[in-house]
Amino acid sequence: MRTIATLQEADSGSIMLGNLDVLRQKTEIRRMLGYLPQEFGVYPKISAQRMLDHIATLKGITNKRERRELVDAMLHRVNLQDHRKKAIAGFSGGMKQRFGIGQALLGDPKLLIVDEPTAGLDPGERNRFYNLLSEIGENVIVILSTHIVQDVKELCTQMAIIHEGELRFAGSPNAAEEELSGKVWQKSIEKSELDSVKQKYEVLSTKLVAGRPLVHIISEHEPGDGFTSIEPDLEDVFFSKIKNAAHSY
């Protein structure tokens, strides 16, 4: 993502955005790029309105009236108009993320890159963020990195799973789940049974539910032994693609 955002050089390979060579035409790419890293720096004591005005100036919007109208429209779009004069240091996590999206969207980008956009957000803020990104994604290419399965399910038409530097899956979330349809089984067991289950079956994941391990396994055929068939979700997909990783969490 940092390479696509022209922030670091590639070791090898190529990246094309339409007819543009990302590795060779960095200036052209930057003109059409919006970027929200996981940690982004701002002047904390400056108001959201002044900070967006400053960023708009850096993006080449020099007409003061045009810039003011653009900033006001963006504050409305990310639902920060009522907080426009408040210092960014006093913003909640969700408000900071919405501000981050606002600054990334200045200049009408054609490509938006966001890194872990919902980390630390409460459910209400996360839903508002989903709605905003979904709206943006109707007209803009959005690339996001996340460890939260719900982000992918709610937002992405295409996804990729990368593990230890290797691409393990690329395709739609629905296609990923359909690959495992009829192959995922679960059972609640005693803790003392866990080792024997891991030896006997191909375990995808285990997690404690009400103090008991809930085990998901993958099997082409009905395993019996009290396991019941379930519809796979993206978490099952993730574990199936990184079978050499630790299965419990």
pTM: 0.80
Answer yes or no: do 77 and 191 share one domain: no
Confidence at residue 127, expressed as pLDDT on a 0 to 100 scale:
85
Indicate whether 151 and 182 sit together in one domain.
no
Strand partners, 160: 170
Same domain, 152 and 189: no
Domain contains 12:
no
The whole-number pLDDT of residue 248 equals 41
Give the C-alpha separation, 156 to 171, whole Å.
Answer: 10
Question: Do 145 and 71 fall into the same domain?
Answer: yes
> In terms of DSSP bridges, do strands 20-21 and 141-145 run parallel, antiparallel, or are they unpaired?
unpaired
Count of structural domains, the chain:
2
Half-sphere exposure in the Cβ direction for 139 (13 Å, CA): 7
Neighbours of 42 (CB within 10 A): 19
223 domain residue, yes or no = yes
**pLDDT, position 99:** 92
* List of residues 6+ apart from 48 with CB closer than 8 A: 75, 80, 83, 84, 85, 86, 88, 91, 99, 102
Shared domain for 135 and 184, answered yes or no, is no
Expressed as residue numbers, the domain containing 205 is: 178-241
pLDDT given for residue 244 in this prediction: 54
Tokens read off for 65: 């009236």
Q: Looking at the structure, tell me whether residues 88 and 132 fall in a common domain.
A: yes
Q: For position 126, which CATH number holds?
A: 3.40.50.300
Per-residue confidence of the chain (249 residues) as pLDDT tens digits? 899 999 999 999 999 999 999 999 999 999 899 999 887 778 889 999 999 999 999 888 999 999 999 999 999 988 899 999 999 999 988 888 889 989 999 988 999 999 988 877 788 888 888 888 888 888 899 999 988 888 898 889 999 999 988 899 999 999 999 999 999 999 999 999 999 999 999 999 999 999 999 999 999 999 999 999 999 999 999 999 987 544 444
62 and 96 together in one domain: yes
183 part of a folded domain: yes
| 205 φ/ψ angles, rounded to the nearest 5 degrees | -160, 160
